[in-house]
Amino acid sequence: MSVARRWSLPLLLLLVSAACKKEEAQPVAASPAGGGAVIGAALSLTGPAAVYGAQQRAGIQAAVEEVNARGGAKLSVIVEDDASTKEQGITVFQKFINRDKVSAIIGPTLSNTASAADPLAQAAQVPVLAISNTAATGITDIGNYIWRDSLMEAQVIPGAFKKAQEKLHFKTAGVLYGNDDVFTKAGYDVMQKALQDLGVKVLGTQTFAKPDRDYNAQLTELTAAKPDVLVVSALADNAAAIVSQARQRGWTGPILGGNGFNSPAFIKNAGAAAEGVMVGTSWNSSSQEPANQKFLANLKKAGVNPDQFSAQAYTGVLILAEAIQQSGGKTGRADIEAGLGKVKDLDTPLGKFSFTPSRDAQHEPSVQQVKDGKFQIVQ
Partner 1 sequence: MGQQVLNGIFLGSIYALFAVGYTLVFGVLDILNLAHQAVFMLAAFVALALVADAHLPLWVALPAAVLAGGLIGIVLERIAFRPLRGRSDSNISGLISSLAMATVFEAIALEIFGPDTSRFPQGTFPDRVVRLGGATASLLQLCIVGISVLLMALLTLLLGRTRLGRQIRAVAESPRAARILGVNVDRAIAFAFFLSSALGGAAGVLFGLAFNSISPDVGRGVELKGLAVIILGGMGSVPGAVMAGFALGLVEVFTVARLGSSFRDVVSFAVLFLVLIARPRGLFGRAAAREA
Nearer to partner 1, 88 or 140 (CB): 88
Instruction: Quote the CA–CA distance of 235 and 214 in Å, as a whole number.
Output: 15
Nearer to partner 1, 139 or 239 (CB): 239
For residue 307, the minimal CB distance to partner 1 (Å) is: 15
According to DSSP, residue 284 is labeled -
Helix (H) or strand (E) holding 8: helix 2-25
For residue 292, the minimal CB distance to partner 1 (Å) is: 27
Nearer to partner 1, 190 or 265 (CB): 265
Helix (H) or strand (E) holding 153: helix 153-168
Nearer to partner 1, 234 or 346 (CB): 234
In angstroms, the Cα distances linking 173 to 46, 165, 358 are 34, 11, 33
Nearer to partner 1, 245 or 298 (CB): 245
For residue 51, the minimal CB distance to partner 1 (Å) is: 7
For residue 45, the minimal CB distance to partner 1 (Å) is: 8
Residue 257's closest CA among 238, 283, 284?
238
For residue 247, the minimal CB distance to partner 1 (Å) is: 8
Nearer to partner 1, 100 or 275 (CB): 275
Instruction: Quote the CA–CA distance of 31 and 37 in Å, as a whole number.
Output: 9
Amino acid at 39: I
Nearer to partner 1, 158 or 227 (CB): 227
Residue 257's closest CA among 248, 17, 273?
273
For residue 270, the minimal CB distance to partner 1 (Å) is: 8
Give the pairing of strands 255-257 and 229-233. Answer: parallel
For residue 330, the minimal CB distance to partner 1 (Å) is: 39
Residue 148, SS3? strand
For residue 360, the minimal CB distance to partner 1 (Å) is: 30
**Any idea of the CA torsion for 322, 325, 331, 336, to the nearest 10 degrees?**
-50
> Are 157 and 280 in contact, with CB atoms under 8 Å apart?
yes
Residue 124's closest CA among 168, 174, 90, 82?
90
Nearer to partner 1, 252 or 288 (CB): 252
Amino acid at 199: G
Residue 256, SS3? strand
Nearer to partner 1, 99 or 213 (CB): 213
Largest CA distance in the chain: 65
Residue 241's closest CA among 280, 217, 274, 263?
274
Residue numbers at the binding site for partner 1 (CB under 8 A): 3-4, 6-7, 10-11, 14, 45-47, 50-51, 179-180, 206-209, 211-214, 216-218, 220-221, 224, 237, 240-241, 244-245, 247-250, 265, 269, 271-272
For residue 211, the minimal CB distance to partner 1 (Å) is: 5
